[in-house]
Amino acid sequence: MQSIPVVPSQINNSHHAPLVPAGRMLPFVLVTALFFLWAIPNNFNDILIRQFMKSFEINRLQAGLVQFAFYLGYFFLAYPAGVIMRRAGYKTGIVIGLCLYGAGCILFYPAAHVGQYWFFLTALFVIASGLAFLETGASSFIVQMGDPETAAQRVNFSQSFNPLGSITAVLIGSQFIFSGVELNPLEVARRQAEGTYQAYLKSETLRVVTPYLVLGSLVLLWAVLIARTRFPHTGMDYSRNTLDHDTSKPLWKRKHFVFAVVAQFFYVGAQVGAWSWQIPYVQTYTGMGERKAGYLLTAALVAFTTGRFFSTWLLRYVRASRLLGVYAIVNAAICAMVVLRPGWLGVGCLVAVSFFMSMMYPTIFALGVKGLGTRTKTGGAVIVMSIAGGAAIPLIMGRVGDLAGVAVSYAVPAVCFVGVGLYAWLAASPEQEELAADPGLALG
């Protein structure tokens, strides 16, 4: 169990606040595992983009619809998820999310046999709808289940298992979804003449089925485990009477929350875009095959994982908003190098980008929901809605890539990181007048 020094002015004793309170370890472990589980479909998308470009013969902009459909699920379901959990509790929302997630995975079986791109996009939307429940509930639950002073460190620790899921996804996808068979134009023409080309495309499409069926089965099993586990009360009063008479400042009047939503939109868009187009970037500027390019994406995810654990430790000594600002500006500069020096140097910079992205999502989330009190679930839901940046930014990058080359498209996440940096330095903390007017903020 980890601990961090408690600020004496905020807590009336000098002992260290535990990361996880006594008696809450089992639900903490089960919910932390969700961070691993929802990373898998997120990073399968990076594999699907390349696979669908091949099996459905589509361009970068059309392939970007994978992320667009996926993150629309977050946008449309995150707020309803927050409302449901505000009334019915975290546990109910998480079980609903796991059921939707599992159902979306199972839809890959009929989608592959129908062989229609739109069917896969529908399945991805259903998966993301479930993930909207999980991300809305899990992050808020982890923040609220223990001492407010350890909230940022606790959610960063749980989020550290997210990149482990990402690495697992890319390794599985590179091995079991990518066939390693890439046809040049002469081979395509030969297979078309022989009448075997459509069978080849069908076989490439079918390769996505097994990983998703296995994943769906695991997720539904986890739903059963969550349903049978007793969840602790987080200390917030979410009774109907309290909610109906809540007179605290509305969310839209809290500057630190509003700008957290904007910053999260930029960050998620930058992260999804950076990973979505890394494999095409590597193939374009190094000549590597799809499987080896996939393994380089794994290297980026290892860097992301390393950065997440390192940042969790570093947050014991550095203020969260300050570390976020430094990382964001560093990443903007690194993305500029990706644009200006395509090739192996650019590939190395992409790996470095993942390291400095590592702590951004959980830190923006923790800063954004700080002091929201009974509005935490709704606020968390709105921040999760901003994950829609993952739908918009990759499409913009795809369009820029089609027009000017994949290297130039990385100017888009560079701009996004500048936005995150501005949030960290200028708007990440509640204003002093808000602290004075609303004592609840001091508890966050």
Residue 18 phi/psi, 5° resolution? -70, 145
Helix (H) or strand (E) holding 17: strand 17-18
Q: What percentage of the chain reaches a pLDDT higher than 70?
A: 88
3-state helix, strand, coil in the chain (%, to 5): 80, 0, 20
Query: For 373-428, how does the pLDDT look when each residue is reduced to its tens digit (9 = 90+)?
Result: 767 777 878 888 888 888 889 889 988 988 898 899 999 999 999 999 999 988 76
The whole-number average pLDDT for the span 119-143 is 91
Express each pLDDT in 183-229 by its tens digit. Answer: 778 888 898 888 888 888 888 889 999 999 999 999 999 999 999 98
pLDDT at 8 over 60: no
CATH code that applies to domain 22-234+251-443:
1.20.1250.20
List phi, psi (to 5°) of 238.
-105, 25
User: pLDDT tens-digit profile of 135-148?
Assistant: 888 887 887 787 77
pLDDT at 250: 65
pLDDT value of residue 241: 53
Phi, psi of 3 (to 5 degrees): -145, 160
pLDDT-derived band of residue 331, with 50, 70 and 90 as boundaries? very high
